Amino acid sequence: MSKRDDIIAAAIRLAENSEPGQANLSVRAVAQEAGVGASTLRHYFPTQSDLHEAVARKSIDTVINDFSIADSTIDPVDRLYECCAQFLPTHEHRDIQLEVWFSMHLRALGPEPRAVSRRLLEHGHTVTYDSMHQWLNRLADEGHIAADEVDPIAKALFTTVDGIALHSIITPETMTVDVAHAQLRWMIEKLLS
């Protein structure tokens, strides 16, 4: 692992071991956790914002799970649904998950957009879309869909997930967690049929 990666890993450890909202990602704290001097940290991350963005990007890169997509003994609809369902709200954390989704979009695209928020949102979209492509390429390799359908199906899944999140915020009484998951499964069944 490079020195830059060591510093990012140290910052993530500090964040994970902190109370929610209380992470101390100061130059001094991160440098100490990484076992480097403050000047070394500043060499790789000239500003606090650079460090925070790198930590956020790394977190985005590692959060998506491939679950059982590689297990060809499981029905392809079930495998793809399992992978895509991780982007939908759950019963336990619905309100928090939707609030985070909305606030990320508002910070990136709202009346006072922030450049770093826009970059992180775009990175999150890229990572999500790339994951969907990988899952669909696997299903195409197995013969469940044609290779030329991978891109349009990935776009349909991505817009479905985003649309479900938006409707869950606008009409939570009709787009419940159960309805959201049923809608995603229905869409996957249609796309793979």
Q: Is the pLDDT of residue 23 over 90?
A: no
Most confident listed range (97-101, 112-116, 145-149): 145-149
Q: Could you report the per-residue pLDDT of 158-178, keeping only the tens digit for each?
A: 999 999 999 999 999 999 999
**How does residue 89 score in pLDDT terms, banded at 50, 70 and 90?**
very high
Place of tokens 């709202």: 110
**% the chain with pLDDT above 90:** 87
The token pair that represents 14 in the structure block: 């500090």
Residue 92: pLDDT over 70: yes
Report the pLDDT averaged over residues 1-30. Answer: 86
To the question of domain 64-192 being in CATH 1.10.357, the answer is yes
Q: Which pair of structure tokens corresponds to residue 178? A: 């159960």
Q: What is the pLDDT of residue 21?
A: 66
User: Where do the H-state alpha helices sit in the chain?
Assistant: 3-16, 27-34, 38-44, 48-63, 76-85, 94-109, 115-141, 150-170, 177-192
What value does the mean pLDDT take over residues 180-190? Answer: 98
Angstrom CA distances, 117 to 15, 49, 86, 177, 193, stand at 19, 11, 22, 27, 37
Percent of the chain residues topping a pLDDT of 70: 98
Where along the chain do the CATH 1.10.10.60 domains lie?
A: 3-61
- pLDDT above 70 for 93: yes
pTM confidence score: 0.87
Q: Which pLDDT score, from 0 to 100, does residue 16 have?
A: 85
User: At the fourth CATH level, which superfamily is domain 3-61?
Assistant: Homeodomain-like (1.10.10.60)
* CATH 1.10.357 placement within the chain: 64-192
At residue 188, the pLDDT reads 98
